[in-house]
Amino acid sequence: MDNITHSALSHASRATAPEKVPLSARPTSQIPVTATLDKNGVQVHFLGHTYNAKLAAALSPQQFSKAQAFLLNIVQQNTLVSNTAQIQLLTLGQAVYFPMPKAMLALANRNNVSERKLVKLGNKNEGYLLPNAKVSDSELQFNNGSKLTLPMLTSLANGEYSVAVKTREQQLFLKLTPIQTKIPITLDSSHSSNEEAAEPALLSEALNTSKTNVNHQYRTLFSQLERTPLPQIAESRSLTAKLPLDSANQKSTPGPQNFLTSALAKAGSLPRTSIKQSLPTQNLASEMFKLLPMLNPESLLSLSEPKKLKQALLSLNSLNISPSSWQAGTPSHINTLSLVCQLLLGQRAIENATVPLSTELTNRLAALQTRLGFSPQILSILAATETHKPLGTLLNNLSLYQHQSGAVDGINHWYFAQPYSINHYQEQFEGHFEQSNDPQESTNHWKLRLKFNLSSSPLLITANANGLDTLDNTLRIAVDFASDNQNLLNKVKLLSPKLTSKIEQLGLSVVAINTQKQAVPATLLPGEHYLVKVKV
């Protein structure tokens, strides 16, 4: 039986707050699995499939029999061009539970995660997994560098533990499970353990379908459209006559705004592989791009223009458009995705309705179909191929950032993810803007973080505004660049004089531009993705 340590409740209130240190571990994923050992070796079972596991070190029957549970620890190496990863099989011992320390709850609240949400997350069989951590006396040192001092930990043996938040009878517990062994493995030769009940998911899917892996989601959507043939295309009207959607087709002219694109290119942002957009004319993708040029994200060059960037960021508020606004609004990439998705959902509602839809809604859907320029044949093919599913997944994942935005402890937090295209490759950059809601502080004190997925390594840019310069009354700003790739940081140093000049042209005073070699978090999103507070 699992050991529930009730006596630690009084100690939890005395737990100290976590030490705020930079993240120092690569983005990881942990997948609970079952494992079996027979004469043929070790098999790992998850997602409805069985994989033969090739272990880098032998696992004895005694070690195997002592394991109470197993985890796959997947360390991502580069999620932009390829999804390579190092995989470890962790064997776990007997779990120990402590009442949730108040310091952990306060930390979660600072990350916009309510206790109610934690209770929901902890209802999973394995609980809500946090980064692994080492216990040393009363100190819990997470692998990402953060620390907690919890007096109840003195009852545990020092060592490395799997950490999770677990809900039992609507009460939160901190679950610590000792890690007995960590063995690097490779998985191959998968086959369904139950073909009728198995989910159609493979290991590659587990690695690729991260909530913030927008490149994978765009690739899924566009590949599905490209694979759908159109033997005969009915006459369809283009949106260009109705909507000013030609901005995606305009050729950009050289100018000062090219600096961002040029700088990122020099820093290694251009992918080594690209997704071709010159698609055959006989498939659904080519017809969709012809009708809706803004179905593809805007180019990074276009977004380097301040007005275009402002419009694109404001368009993120149109992820959910009410039917009364279908004919209004400024056309944008996000607006286009949302309108197509809502039309397909409306068409699905018509097909599955047991009673007729209202005349008003039917008329609005017909008007939306006309606005988008879809012929009945195009609409029926989109419905038959269930295009609404990958499209809805993409929009839902982009909306994660809206859901995490809000005010916490007097600080306004705005999270956003802006999709873009570069060399016919779809990606996104993430942002997190912090500003006090105190009018005396908000104007001259704020913090902005931007995360780019470059081909060589992710890059995190942090800008801090710290008041006005006493000499010329300009806003003082410090910019920090973080990456685990030293070559990338060296290129940033070479470009820093130009960057300083560009910032000063905006009327700001550059205090410093710094670079630091450290791992970058998989996402800037707090909460479900990173409960442990990270300071960068």
Could you read off the pLDDT of 243-252 as tens digits, one per residue?
Answer: 333 333 444 4
So what's the pLDDT on residue 433? Answer: 92
**What number of other Cβ atoms are within 10 A of residue 121's Cβ?**
21
Q: Are 59 and 90 in contact (CB under 8 A)?
A: no
Strands (DSSP E) contained in 150-197 are: 159-168, 171-192
Residues 6+ apart with CB under 8 A from 158: 134, 135, 136, 137
So what's the pLDDT on residue 191? Answer: 54
CA–CA separation, 361 and 326 (whole Å): 11
So what's the pLDDT on residue 431? Answer: 92
So what's the pLDDT on residue 404? Answer: 81
Task: Give the number of C-alpha atoms closer than 13 A to the C-alpha of residue 78, restricted to the C-beta side.
Answer: 13
Residues 6+ apart with CB under 8 A from 236: 287, 291, 373, 374, 375, 378
Please, what sign has the CA dihedral across residues 464, 470, 473, 474?
Answer: negative
DSSP letter, residue 283: B
Q: Are 19 and 46 in contact (CB under 8 A)?
A: no
CA–CA separation, 180 and 92 (whole Å): 5
Residues 6+ apart with CB under 8 A from 173: 4, 97, 98, 99, 100, 122, 165, 166, 167
Please, what sign has the CA dihedral across residues 285, 290, 295, 300?
Answer: positive
Backbone angles phi, psi at 57, to 5 degrees: -135, 150
Which H or E run includes 344?
A: helix 333-352
CA angle 518, 520, 525 (to 5 degrees): 145
Dump pLDDT digits (tens) for 259-285.
Answer: 444 544 444 444 433 333 433 447 898
Backbone angles phi, psi at 463, to 5 degrees: -115, 130
Helix, strand counts (H, E) of the chain:
16, 21
User: Of 310, 355, 303, nearest to 330 (Cα)?
Assistant: 310
Backbone angles phi, psi at 61, to 5 degrees: -55, -35
So what's the pLDDT on residue 527? Answer: 52
So what's the pLDDT on residue 43? Answer: 84
So what's the pLDDT on residue 135? Answer: 92
User: Of 466, 479, 477, 462, nearest to 514 (Cα)?
Assistant: 479
Beta bridge partners of 173: 99, 166
Structure tokens at 181: 């062994």
Q: With a cut of 70, which residues of the chain have pLDDT below it?
A: 1-28, 47-48, 75-85, 110-112, 144-145, 189-213, 231-281, 318, 320-321, 328-330, 442, 470, 527-536
CA–CA separation, 300 and 423 (whole Å): 9
Q: Are 74 and 31 in contact (CB under 8 A)?
A: yes
Q: Which residues of 51-67 are buried (b: 16+ CB within 10 A; e: fewer)?
A: bbbeeeeebeeeeeeeb
CA–CA separation, 96 and 23 (whole Å): 26
Q: Are 152 and 175 in contact (CB under 8 A)?
A: no
CA–CA separation, 243 and 321 (whole Å): 17
CA–CA separation, 165 and 118 (whole Å): 8
pTM of this prediction? 0.56
The 3-state DSSP class for residue 362 equals helix
